[in-house]
Structure 1
Amino acid sequence: AGWRWGLSAEHRAALGMPHCGPQNSGDFALQRLCLGYANGDDSHFSGIEAYGEVGGLDAALLGPLGQLLEKLEHWQHVLVEFLVPGRWGEAARNLLTDFFSASDDDDEALLQNLEEALRQWLEDCAAAGFDEALPLAVFRGAWLEMLDAPDLGRSFLGGGVTFCTLLPMRAVPYPLVCLLGMNEGDYPRRSPRPDFDLMALPGMARPGDRSRRDDDRYLMLEALLAARQEIYVSWAGRDQRNNHERAPSLLVAQLREAIRDGWPLALEERTFEHPLQPFSPDYLSGKPGLRTWAREWYPSPHSAPENTALPDPAEVTPRSIRELLEFFRLPARAFYRQRLRTDFNEEDPAEEDDEPFTLDSLETYHLLEDLLRAAEKNGPDRVAERARAQQRGGRYPLAGMAARTAAALLDDITPVLTVWQEIRMEWAAAPQRQAITHAHGRILLEDWLPTLHQNSAGDLAFVQLRASRLLNKESQKPEGDKLAALWLQQLLANAVGLRCDGIVVGRDVLVRAAPPPPGAMAALDDLLDLWQEGLCEPLPVTLKTALVSLQGKNPAPIYDGNDHLPGEVRKNLNLFRDYPDFAALSSARTGLQRRGFAEYAAALYRPFADWLETLEWQAHP
């Protein structure tokens, strides 16, 4: 609903930012939610744009959300005051009551510890006769310090595992002593002295002065003597970047030399090198000293060998045009999504940490797409109203930047709408939609074609409005991946006996495509055959990389990326799992015919590449 930061306009004013107003605050979002629940979506009242995603049983969450905002607003006023200790104690108990409720024994113990720490602090203040007003920072520090203070009444080393830092003359016998992180440079520890420390000057040292490096040498000996049965020493034996061997601490190296001098074989038998990754095959190889308790890394005794294709689906499931387009663009992703019902490319729900003052390319695209859909549905005259709705919904930057953003978007979209109106005057929407049912092999395609448009001569065409730029900046030709949907729609229309032109109004150019050639039916059947094959294993090919290869250029930078281009594999974890780089992609062989990247590129995308060469385009005035 657009809550980014701040509770309300008053809260922002208290933070020294009164000009930001209420937009994208908590109160702003709550009003949008309540108005959307009351009036539904696509409505506004008193400058508030409704957010209609909440309905039914979810509406019960609006009450607790409103109570939360009310309590936060209340405590925001309370916690900025200076209070005496007694008032702070009362406020702290009320705050715990308002916001925390124990759900298990650990929570109950934590709340009891907080209450005990607060009681002890109040008793100390009373005993000292302290009754001055304090700010929140002082009270908070004192309260939490009391919570973290050690309890001297507890038993020493009551059992279990003890984590500690060794100190001189504190050695206590243990059955097992573990020394962790004994890396070179980390132990013995360095003790840098400031420039003004006179004890660091030559000749100023006196007997009894502490030396951390000497203490650490002594501590190493104490740790050895404290171990009654076994001692465990670990260090980072290899560099995490280049896997080069790294030496241990000098004291560990001296210990190893002493063991080697006395018992040469014992040192090798008791030195274990652990792999870096927890899924390393060495942990499952049965080597002495290497084991894992992570059951998920153990292969199932009935699992299929790696890189084995799945059989054809047992049932013929109706497929949609969207699924066909997904396969056409990225066959590997289609395999995981459509056959295995999984996807490694989970969207990151994390929000931005900084308030945006300008829109990035992705957000600009989404806003333009929203404006274009409003133009398609309600006509170009309603675009300005939709832009105002976007602003009321908090999708623009704050304050005066919002007006500048709206003006920039409308200026950007005006040429597109001008061309769109001219096209719509020539091509009117057909009265009926066209259903398509096409079966080939074990693929059954059932869907509806997009809305067809018809001119005065009776010709049919797909007329589409896009918010993206269609021309490639370097080649100044239409980008294939942005026109793949139009190509497939023309093929499917041809399959039901309709010859349709294609017209795409992009953000920068108008693209026209003639109907497919007579052999388009064979191209569609070949595509469905490859789709059926791609449902059994991820095919080593992608649309963008294949088109560059078919042009006779080097496709590796398109797939792997570089400093300026992210590359297809970096954008899709489905690809990275099977083909982490172009070398792996080009060397893979799949299918019954054991075809590779070059063969799949020609079979899957050659007709599409030839179709791209027939396109005509014209820049917007």
Structure 2
Amino acid sequence: MLAGYLLGDGPAWMGIEPLDEVAGLGAELAGRLSRLLDTLEHHWQQSRQDASAREWQQRFTQLLDNLFAPVDETDQTLDAGLRDALNDWLAACAEADFDSTLPLTVARRPLLDALNAESLSQRFMAGRINFCTLMPMRAIPFRHVCLLGIKDGDYPRQQQPMDFDLMRQWGNYRPGDRSRRDDDRYLFLEALLSARDSLYISWTGRNVRDNSERPPSVLVAQLCDHINQRWHADQGEPVDALTVAHPLQPFSARYFFHTEQDAANDIQLNESLHTYANEWRALHDGQATRVSNDQPLPPLDSDEPITCAALGRFLKQPVAHFFEQRLKARLKQQRQVLDDSEPFAFDGLQRFQLQDQLLSVALRAGPEHAGGAMTEAMNRLAGSGDLPLAPFDEGSRDSLLMPLSQPLEQYFALLADSGAPQPQQEIRLSAGPLQLEDWLTDLRGSAANAQRLVLHTGKLKERFDKLTRDWTLHLAACAAGHPLNTHIQGQDGRITLPHLNRSDAQHCLDQLGHAWQQALCEPLPIACATAFAWLKGEEKDNGDNEARKVFESGFMHTGEQDKEPAIARAWADFDSMLAARHGDDSAFAYWTEQLYAPLYQHAQWSEHGDN
């Protein structure tokens, strides 16, 4: 990190790869971490040497001064206790005339004993409301006693017996032996005797997964049985009149008035329910304005131009477009979780990201120096920790580089045959109700036969969903009057997009523009990969089944619905999405023909070695 602050993204320094993310406020954090590591190393070096009791007392005191700063009363009490323990230990050594040197394993005992000691001077009566665990010798009268979380399995507490505990072995129990369950039963009785005005006991009465009923602790059940045996009620059991079942949500109608089901079960059920969320009362009283969710939102007027990249993102994720652009809600969250074990192989995303970096380095270096540049980049990745440690890194290097050799060779060969680079061209045109503005770059050859070359990291066969951005840029170029041929090279072959005449390209852009506006009003019943699977299946009159396989998850397969949270939020399953209508036709089939059929029909696939 310090090398990254000094060198940025420069080359390695003395075999250390700089982390170029350290800058600004991050540099201050890196400096604090550096000082902490230096301090820890200093005390570690001192602790490796034996010393007398007075020297250990000075070392531990310096350690507390350097690494710990008490901020509240609890920290100050703990710090004072540790220092008092050191002073008492030093006084005991002086009283015994002990001045021999001690190792760390012996000198640390006073501190560890002070940390593990249970203090009887902890504050119990801290205020008008006291929170504590059930402990003996606390049967002090209180007006109200509340026992929380008294559910089955948690109380009485269960203790795993030790192998050498003879009292826990069958047949070895003797009268007077301590039992944790009996102790907890006594503590529960003490809590009952401490309550003067009211006793409140709560537990989780419903399963969070299937809403099935869950029993309370066996002690609570015995208390309920005792109440039912000693007292009587006019209707039902006495415990039923004392028990309140709270609804799961704060906006439940049971908090505000009796429902018909409650009235049939118990007229007095809701008198004990109370909520502070009074903002929901208007909803149940019929005063809130009701909105029909079946109607789309009104159109959104915006004069801001869009780019081909934005149009390509919409084409790939039309449902997420509604949530992100209209509702400003990003449902797909990036979660970075640290691995619990050292990785020795790459998952799909890591492999793609590393190969994408290698291809970027090779393209910048050119065909003559691509191999050396990729080897140097691999060394940097190994130094930065992105590759497994030796000797497992050799296999990782081969698995990353070998799939890239053939597509790189074909890309550079196509680059040499495509002609000289062209200057970038600006595009300004309309796409239905939208204004499209972008720049055409990476064009080669003559103006009458322009070529655009794209090197893709992954595989492309039957992966039309990876072509959405290049397709929108291809349409914009053809609609602007540039006869463009786009070649997209992948690891397993090449996809070519031949030029379209100007009117056809403009018609496709207009369809995308109108779909963009409609997708801002409601989630479209469409999914990108599912739509392409439907088009392929329709060639054999099996479109619905093929689309369902891609949309829904199966064995060793994650469906598009589970990959994209926006689709799962809008459409519960494939049948609900397929049931949506556009006039008299299926909305899924309509939007598939409007958005994805032109790309599916226009793309030309060629394997490695095909001309």
Do the structures match in fold with TM over 0.5?
yes
Aligned equivalents of 2:279 and 2:490: distance in 1?
48
The reply to whether residue 501 of structure 1 matches residue 485 of structure 2 is yes
Cα 1:319/1:188, change in 2 over 3 Å? same
Cα 1:604/1:59, change in 2 over 3 Å? same
Aligned partner (choices 338, 344, 357) of residue 325 of structure 2: 338
Cα 1:373/1:197, change in 2 over 3 Å? closer
Aligned equivalents of 1:207 and 1:48: distance in 2?
68
Q: Structure 1 residue 210: deviation in Å?
A: 4.8
The reply to whether residue 225 of structure 1 matches residue 215 of structure 2 is no
The reply to whether residue 235 of structure 1 matches residue 206 of structure 2 is no
Aligned partner (choices 486, 497, 515) of residue 499 of structure 2: 515
The reply to whether residue 119 of structure 1 matches residue 119 of structure 2 is no
> In the alignment, which residue of structure 2 is the partner of 1:272?
244
* Greater CA drift, 120-129 or 181-190: 181-190
Aligned equivalents of 2:125 and 2:353: distance in 1?
60
Unaligned runs of 5+ in 1: 1-28, 472-477
Aligned partner letter, 2:89: C
Aligned equivalents of 1:95 and 1:297: distance in 2?
56
Aligned partner (choices 89, 92, 117) of residue 60 of structure 2: 92
Checking the alignment, whether the CA contact within 8 Å between 1:182 and 1:249 is kept in structure 2 is yes
> In the alignment, which residue of structure 2 is the partner of 1:3?
none
Checking the alignment, whether the CA contact within 8 Å between 1:49 and 1:389 is kept in structure 2 is no
The residue correspondences of 1:180-199 to structure 2 (distance < 5 A) are 180-188=148-156
Q: Structure 1 residue 362: deviation in Å?
A: 2.1
Question: How many residues matched?
Answer: 573
Q: Structure 1 residue 53: deviation in Å?
A: 4.5
> In the alignment, which residue of structure 2 is the partner of 1:356?
343
Cα 1:464/1:350, change in 2 over 3 Å? same
Aligned equivalents of 2:176 and 2:34: distance in 1?
65
* SS of equivalent to 2:243: coil
> In the alignment, which residue of structure 2 is the partner of 1:547?
532
Aligned equivalents of 1:55 and 1:218: distance in 2?
60
Checking the alignment, whether the CA contact within 8 Å between 2:251 and 2:277 is kept in structure 1 is no
Aligned equivalents of 2:392 and 2:55: distance in 1?
44
Aligned partner (choices 512, 515, 520) of residue 530 of structure 1: 515
Q: Structure 1 residue 73: deviation in Å?
A: 3.5
Q: Structure 1 residue 323: deviation in Å?
A: 1.4
* SS of equivalent to 2:369: helix
Aligned partner (choices 569, 572, 576) of residue 564 of structure 2: 572
Checking the alignment, whether the CA contact within 8 Å between 1:85 and 1:122 is kept in structure 2 is no
Aligned equivalents of 1:567 and 1:411: distance in 2?
29
Q: Structure 1 residue 422: deviation in Å?
A: 1.2
Checking the alignment, whether the CA contact within 8 Å between 1:416 and 1:620 is kept in structure 2 is no
Identity of aligned residues (%): 34
Q: Structure 1 residue 145: deviation in Å?
A: 4.7
> In the alignment, which residue of structure 1 is the partner of 2:450?
460
Checking the alignment, whether the CA contact within 8 Å between 1:333 and 1:574 is kept in structure 2 is yes
Deviation sequence 1:1-37 (CA, Å, 0-9, x none): xxxxxxxxxxxxxxxxxxxxxxxxxxxx43343222x
* SS of equivalent to 1:374: helix
Aligned equivalents of 1:553 and 1:92: distance in 2?
73
* SS of equivalent to 1:511: strand
Q: Structure 1 residue 175: deviation in Å?
A: 1.7
* Greater CA drift, 245-254 or 543-552: 245-254
Checking the alignment, whether the CA contact within 8 Å between 2:476 and 2:505 is kept in structure 1 is no
Q: Structure 1 residue 452: deviation in Å?
A: 1.8
> In the alignment, which residue of structure 1 is the partner of 2:375?
387
Aligned partner letter, 1:510: R
Cα 1:404/1:186, change in 2 over 3 Å? closer
Q: Structure 1 residue 606: deviation in Å?
A: 2.6
Aligned equivalents of 1:141 and 1:594: distance in 2?
80
Aligned equivalents of 2:21 and 2:161: distance in 1?
61
> In the alignment, which residue of structure 2 is the partner of 1:422?
413
Aligned partner (choices 278, 297, 306) of residue 319 of structure 1: 306
Cα 1:270/1:442, change in 2 over 3 Å? farther
Q: Structure 1 residue 321: deviation in Å?
A: 1.6
Aligned partner letter, 2:508: A
Aligned equivalents of 1:178 and 1:228: distance in 2?
12
> In the alignment, which residue of structure 1 is the partner of 2:264?
none
Aligned partner letter, 2:481: G
The TM-score normalised by the length of structure 1 is 0.79
The reply to whether residue 164 of structure 1 matches residue 133 of structure 2 is yes
Aligned partner letter, 1:558: V
Q: Structure 1 residue 586: deviation in Å?
A: 4.0
Checking the alignment, whether the CA contact within 8 Å between 2:423 and 2:441 is kept in structure 1 is no
Checking the alignment, whether the CA contact within 8 Å between 2:483 and 2:499 is kept in structure 1 is yes
> In the alignment, which residue of structure 2 is the partner of 1:20?
none
Checking the alignment, whether the CA contact within 8 Å between 2:312 and 2:472 is kept in structure 1 is yes
Aligned equivalents of 2:59 and 2:166: distance in 1?
49
> In the alignment, which residue of structure 1 is the partner of 2:73?
109
* SS of equivalent to 1:575: helix
> In the alignment, which residue of structure 2 is the partner of 1:486?
470
The reply to whether residue 262 of structure 1 matches residue 249 of structure 2 is no
Aligned equivalents of 1:602 and 1:523: distance in 2?
11
Deviation sequence 1:278-329 (CA, Å, 0-9, x none): 6674686565555566899999998984746443334322212221111111
Aligned equivalents of 1:206 and 1:212: distance in 2?
14
> In the alignment, which residue of structure 2 is the partner of 1:611?
602
